[in-house]
Structure 1
Amino acid sequence: MANINKIKGVIGILTGGGDVPGLNPAIRAVTIRALREGYKVVGIRHGWAGAIDIMRDDKADNSDNFQWLTEEVVNRAGRTGGTFLHSSRTRPSTVSRKSVPAHLQEQYQADTNDLTPEVLKNLAWLGVDYMIPIGGDDTLSYGVRLAQEGFKVVAIPKTMDNDVPGTDYCIGFSTCVTRTIAMTNILRTSAGSHERFLVMEVFGRYAGFTAMLPTMAGVANRCVIPEYRFNVEHLTELLVADRFKNPSKYSVVLVSEGAMFEGGEMIFHNAEKDAYGHAKLGGIGDVVSEKLKETSAKFNNGKKIECINQKLGYLVRGGDPDAIDSVVPMAYGNLALDLILQNLHGRLVVLKNGRYDHVPLDVVTSTKKVVDVGRFYNTERLRPHYKSFEMKPLFIMTSSDL
């Protein structure tokens, strides 16, 4: 049994970017194991924002920036969705002047400020020896920066899009796919009752995995993804044919939020960008629905076909995790502690070909992970392409060859 009377060190943990089901189980796994191994655990609140907002003063109220974690705290939250540590899309290396904390504004007055020196001082003030960020490639890219500064970082991948390089699986992806399948099936009854197209806008800024897997599972006739610019007339022709073959006279298409028309670009909700330079996507499902309706008459004897248009958005992001997003976070958290106990850092815990492993953290910034169109997407049929499943990993096309 570990000697818990002597503290081995302090482990910091945070969640950044969008919330997903499975974050609280990961926090719980890290904390329970760390405490039993003789470490203290501090949760940095609001992602990297908490790491820059800390005031290094014992008398200051830092309750909004960090909290010391106990078994009681993490057990209460561990079976729920979201993140009880809260999140943000803050990047400490590029903080706008207006976003610099009040107590640092005299020191940092440039239009864009690198607050990494403050992050390092704040973590040192807390006594943090290891940092475990849980996030997508944006959140983890700052983890790479900290590692380059000499700080000990072990990272855990999470994102609904499942597009963190180096791993086959990111926390949140399975629940997203599960919900997409369930909610699309719910709306089938309405689509069939009115003999319409059903257009479902799903997550996927640069990678189309969240559209590909449900389509492969049979929930949709077609899908359009960010990796391939599609021709809307061709999509309409396919959907009209699918609808005609269906006894209930409807057809379904899943549209990744980052999908683009031939000759077009991504469609954004507005022009405002986050700290990582990303504008909020939203609206491609609306545009596709209008285009399908307008074009459908050409392939339906002059009669337009109406659409049911639904953006899934936060419906697949909120709520409790499914089985995979309950088990994988537990395993990732324990693997992270295994690495810390071996004094290994600068690593990303991963799933590769069904086995837990770890890879160099800088893989996060060295490449991109997207659908291999040539291997997995039929550009004529606008749907997943596959010949054999023998020896393929669980989610088929999400495997990372790195």
Structure 2
Amino acid sequence: MAYKGTIGILTGGGDVPGLNPAIRAVTIRAKREGYRVIGIRRGWAGLVEILRDENVDNSGNFIELTTDIVNRAGRTGGTFLHTSRTRPSHLPKANLPEHLRDSYTANINDVTPEVLKNIDFLGLDFLIPIGGDDTLSYAQRLHEEGVKVVAIPKTMDNDVPGTDYCIGFSTCVTRTIELTHRLRTSAGSHERYLVIEVFGRYAGFTALLPTMAGAADRCLIPEHPIEMELLAELATKDRNRNPSKYSVLLVSEGAVLKNDKEMSFESSEADQYGHRKLGGIGDRVAAHLKELSPKYNDGRTINVLNQRLGYLVRCGEPDALDSMVPMAFGNLALDLVLAGTSGRLVSIHNGRYDTVPITTVTGQKKIIDVQKYYNTERLRPKYESFMHQPLFIMTSDK
């Protein structure tokens, strides 16, 4: 069969609900338009580890996608192509595939020349990576190398610059609200503070929006350091005026205490993008709250129910929005392919689908405008000025 061209698609970074619907949308539209679609396995790792030999089994690195394959997967969460945090421009020697170890001997290696050769080996006319700013920063590198790239944004944190919305964000917010409300029964039964750690390395959207929707009394975000005395006073007042004697706080994983020099990490080990695994700020806030509680509760200690939501909000099937937006993003990406346009990131701005240059991904940071959306004296969202705001209120780039 003669094809108009071949499109490669991959998913990188953390898994989120909505990736499989996006892969499905790209594949269905592409095949209808006469294109062949290759699914790259394990993100950028698949493009690093390919053996350029037609007689070698590369099924662990890529697969030709069919309508049947993507239709089965399109209803599910996660990514059936699998994912990784591989960064080909900064690949540690220990992570090199065996066939490259004689050619690259440094402790950290840039194997982009191999990636470019593998793209040629696969005959890819366009590459569609789906990921956050780390995955897409390498996509920008390939764009600069002459690869025709059309990028799709995804991340639970919703912090990819250039777009109001990233795949996975709605499900994250939906699950955070749902699970927080479920945990209320235990917090109320024991008359405790309820401290819940949620996603959000640099941006606090996943804490601020659920709080705005009524999931919590207060929220702590990376953009504003935590003043524990103020938090303890507010949380205790919330608890004591609640008939069930509990209060609820959402804490972004990237939040820091006022005098901290860095975020709270699980270990010193970093991934190839330089990120150490976050975790522990919820534990620290919970411990400080318990310690300070007698000061604001007539000398009596208040215990804490402390929970990290973690993968509970990113596993399973997508919600309605994370089923529809990936469909639109996938088709928008194909519109660009059909027009011969590359070097773009599909996006939403003020409620309308659009595209921006892929260089936007590395050109700025997308974080909450604290002055506009966060009440630093009340440690909660500002409930004002909703007229003409986008659907998710504080997520539009200015």
For residues 2-401 of structure 1, the aligned pairs below 5 Å read 6-264=2-260, 265-401=262-398
Question: What is the alpha-carbon distance in structure 2 between the residues aligned to residue 49 and residue 107 of structure 1?
Answer: 17
User: In 2, distance between residues paired with 1:63 and 1:269?
Assistant: 35
Which 4+ stretches in 1 moved above 3 angstroms? Answer: none
The one-character-per-residue Cα deviations of 1:331-365 (angstroms, maximum 9, x if unpaired) are 00000000000001000000111100000000000
Whole-angstrom distance in 2 between the partners of 1:112 and 1:386: 48
Distance (Å, rounded) in 2 between the aligned partners of 1:290 and 1:298: 14
- Distance in 2, matches of 1:52 and 1:86, equals 15
**Among the aligned pairs, what percent are the same residue?**
68
Task: State the SS of the aligned residue for 1:52.
Answer: helix
Q: What is the alpha-carbon distance in structure 1 between the residues aligned to residue 230 and residue 123 of structure 2?
A: 59
- Cα distance in structure 1, aligned partners of 2:373 and 2:2: 53
AA aligned opposite 1:199: V
| Residues in 2 aligned to 1:376 and 1:388: alpha-carbon distance in whole angstroms | 9
Equivalent position SS for 2:283? helix
SS in 1 for 2:269: strand
CA distance in 2, matches of 1:308, 1:398: 30
3-state DSSP of counterpart to 2:25: helix
Deviation of residue 388 (structure 1)?
A: 2.1
Describe the superposition over 1:42-65 as per-residue Cα deviations: whole angstroms up to 9, x where unpaired.
000000000000000111121110
Instruction: Indicate the SS of the match to 2:174.
Output: helix
**Residue type of the partner of 1:389?**
F
CA distance in 2, matches of 1:233, 1:141: 40
Any idea what SS the aligned residue of 1:392 has? Answer: coil
For 1:157 and 1:14, locate their aligned partners in 2 and report how far apart those are by CA, in whole Å. 12
Whole-angstrom CA distance in 2 between matches of 1:94 and 1:197: 43
Report how many residues are paired. 397
Q: CA deviation at 1:6?
A: 3.3
Q: Deviations over 1:173-218 (max 9, x none)?
A: 0000000000000010111111100000000000000000000001
CA distance in 2 between counterparts of 1:157 and 1:77 reads 19
Please report the TM-score for the alignment, with normalisation by the length of structure 1. 0.98
CA distance in 1, matches of 2:14, 2:150: 20
CA distance in 2 between partners of 1:162 and 1:388 (Å): 21
Structure 1 CA distance for aligned equivalents of residues 396 and 75 of structure 2: 28
Name the SS of the counterpart of 2:183 in structure 1: helix
- Structure 2 length normalisation: TM-score? 0.99
Q: Shift of residue 400 of structure 1?
A: 1.1
Q: 1:230: Cα distance to partner?
A: 1.2
Q: CA RMSD in A?
A: 0.6
1:100, CA displacement in angstroms?
1.0
- C-alpha separation in 2, matches of 1:86 and 1:218: 35
